[in-house]
Amino acid sequence: MSLRQVVLDTETTGLSAEDGHRIVEIGCVEIVDRRLTGRTLHLYVNPERDIDPGALEVHGLTRERLSTEPRFAELADRVADFVADAELLIHNAPFDMGFLEAEFRRIGRPGFGGLVGAVTDTLALARELHPGRRNSLDALCERYEISNAHRKLHGALLDAELLADVYLAMTRGQDSLEIALGGHEEGAYGIEADLAWPPAGLLVLRADEAELRAHAEILEAIAREARKPALWTLLTEPESPAAPVLPGPPVGAGAVAAAPSVASA
């Protein structure tokens, strides 16, 4: 069964949904079996209210710019369809989830959380992996060498795309491989596990001719330096058949076995 995840980010008119602040932008990026599918959702929303100066400095979206965009009620179905049954990945999830819940309540729809399979807070995950360090999206991009030079202002889709790359880098390892192999139950990867190889969803990239030549040159250089074949060469070369034993005359006491004659041209 495929693992479907949706990285989600929002921009808002202010810091608190409880104070009546609204969503102005939504960005979603789809991941299936730890691979970006290319499917995204990007929506601007008319918030029907003023935008706090602090929020405006963050995302740069003015009320005038958003006045011609659809209201959230007109976009709710598109949001619900995109995230349905997926695991949401959100940086500081309580913030975005609080706004989405408030927007769905405002239009009389069931809670937003009931639409999704699970919610993972990537900020909490980052704090577990890097305690005592800065774990903002910018800090994580720097830590995992993900370029965010084009990020002048916050944008929901741009931030979701960056977070997708950060999440995949942050969770790369044995646990991530287990997820990629289909979320098997605990204990499924013991010595006796019968797993097909390569597993479904694992991207296999074959070396091209140039890469194979470069590999061969490295092995030859190792052999020259060590004055013996590289271990990789020994492991990958087929075993040579044993040389046949030629019958010879019996060797008696005081006799010397004759060497096989070699014909000369």
**CA-to-CA distance for 164 and 227, rounded, in angstroms?**
47
Closest by CA position to 24, among listed 44, 5, 3, 4: 44
CB 20 within 8 A of CB 6: no
**Is residue 26 within 8 Å of 8, Cβ to Cβ?**
yes
Number of H helices, E strands in the chain: 10, 5
Residue 71 has phi, psi (to 5 degrees) of -80, 160
- Chain-centre distance for alpha carbon 162: 11
In whole angstroms, give the CA distance from residue 229 to residue 158: 50
* Cα–Cα nearest to 31, from 64, 56, 8, 55: 8
User: Whole-angstrom Cα distance, residue 7 to residue 31?
Assistant: 8
Strands 4-12 and 87-90: parallel
Token output for 109: 């729809």
Beta-carbon contacts of 56 under 8 Å, excluding residues fewer than 6 positions away, are 62
3-state secondary structure of 120: strand
Q: Which residues are catalytic?
A: 154
∠ CA 163-81-72, nearest 5°, is 80
